[in-house]
Amino acid sequence: MKLIIVGFGQCGGRIADEFARLNRRAHVQRGIDIIANALAINTDVADLSGLTCIKPDYQHRILIGGRKTGGHGVGKINELGAEIAKEDGDKIIETIRSSKRFVDADAFLLIAGAAGGTGSGALPVITQYIKERYVDKPVYNLVVLPFEHEEATEERTIYNAATCLKSAYLVADAVFLVDNQRYVMKDASIRSNLSKINALITEPFYNLLCAGEEKKPKYIGARILDAGDIIQTLTGWTAIGYGRSEISLTKKILSRTRDFRNKATEARKGTQAMDQAISGLSLKMNPIDSKRALYLVSAPPKEMNVDLIKELGTYLKSLAPEAVIRSGDYPREKGLINITIILSELSDVERVRGYFTKTISLISALKKRQEGIEDKYRGIEVTLKDIPSLI
């Protein structure tokens, strides 16, 4: 599956940059391309300058709203980010359309941080514009939820997240939800290792996108998981994750024989990788809430068989009994079993519901606060009349 990647704001731009790096890795290691084009769009010149893999020309790093912001961002005001995106929307759409490999793309993936100004404001606006222009290609959003400390210290963060999530859900074909806080536990320091967090966010997409683009016959799976399967799976709120299990030397020795322990080890290693994929999903959620699911098993050819795929499918069905499940195999990895999993059409997402509830309360509190300020100033104006003026 080939994607056109568009990153908005600082967060979205850096993750788009990581996808460009992922494509470079696929090209070097596997001789295939999984990204038709990668763009970064921002109102801040400095953020665009900090990217490394996206091409530095103006057709790949696009500055918008220069007249209103002077190239210094929108200061977390996502209404301004949305307004600028509406004004410069035609320029963005034209740049996307002029991509050399535009016709090769199967879908769009637009990325932004929910807490920012440019990204959270521009993401749903441009998503809607693209859907109106290109009805034959699905448009997906990847929305990165803020860290806990951001929510605790900045009210605007919660408001931006709620308005971005609602707007994205209304226009996108599917919304990948990524909770930044979940990746902090994976040895990624907030202060100095944001690049590691971005790499962890993009890694689950690697085998998933490569599987359908593979060219060498020996690496093509018996059950290919292609763009059609992914498109049929993705809808509404979505989470993605991956897990891996190393195949030990003992396992390799046993695989040369028909030892009964071989079967038990295969099942255990596969289940272990799937457990890791579910526990490492991009968002904390209950698999039972998903209506669609997909998993891809990537391992050395000799380590994959019908029993393993069946075992994993049965296990996932027990966790998500209402989900329509699609699966595939990709005989590529060496020395490990790698499982990528997607849970989509989530009927309930506690984190999103929390943002909506908090924002409703926040709006009510802000109205009361504003009324109090107005009463205070009216009081000042009354007493001001009694003070003589020097001018």
Query: CA 55 → CA 17, 51, 59, 293, 296, distances in Å?
Result: 9, 9, 8, 35, 31
Name, in order, each residue with C-beta under 8 angstroms of 35's C-beta and a sequence gap of 6 or more.
2, 3, 4, 5, 19, 20, 22, 23
Where does 3-202 sit in CATH, by number?
3.40.50.1440
* 288 secondary structure, DSSP code: G
Task: Enumerate residues 6+ apart whose C-beta is below 8 A from 45.
Answer: 63, 71, 72
**Could you report the per-residue pLDDT of 191-234, keeping only the tens digit for each?**
557 888 899 999 999 999 999 999 898 899 888 899 999 999 99
270 in Cβ contact with 310 (< 8 Å): no
Q: What is the pLDDT of residue 150?
A: 85
User: Residue 352: what pLDDT?
Assistant: 92
pLDDT value at residue 254: 45
Q: What is the pLDDT of residue 370?
A: 58
Please name which of 295, 304, 297 lies closest in space to residue 326, comparing C-alpha atoms: 295
Average pLDDT over residues 303-332: 89
CA distance 235 to 252: 40
The CA–CA distances, whole Å, from 390 to 111, 383, 387 equal 56, 16, 10
Weakest-pLDDT range from 6-20, 81-95, 223-237, 374-388: 374-388
| Segment (H or E) for 64 | none
Confidence check: pLDDT of 341 > 50: yes
pLDDT tops 70 at residue 362 = yes
Cα 33 → chain centroid: 19
In this structure, the strands spanning 35-42 and 174-179 are unpaired
Q: What's the pLDDT score for residue 249?
A: 46
Residue range 239-344, CATH number: 3.30.1330.20
**Whether the predicted pLDDT of 374 surpasses 60:** no
The larger pLDDT score, comparing residue 153 to residue 32, is at: 32
**Band of residue 188 on the pLDDT scale cut at 50, 70, 90:** very low
Question: Residue 305: its pLDDT value, please?
Answer: 78
28 pLDDT more than 70? yes
Pairing outcome for strands 336-344 and 236-246: antiparallel
Average pLDDT, the chain: 86
Any idea which of 131-135, 186-190, 224-228, 352-356 has the lowest mean pLDDT?
A: 186-190
> What residue ranges do the domains of the chain occupy?
3-202, 239-344
Q: Where do the DSSP E strands lie in 79-133?
A: 107-113
Name the one residue in this structure whose structure tokens are 């989509």: 344
- For the ranges 60-69, 76-85, 204-213, 304-313, the lowest mean pLDDT is seen at 304-313
Q: Is the pLDDT of residue 309 over 90?
A: no
What is the structure's pLDDT at 82? 94
| Res 253 pLDDT > 50 | no
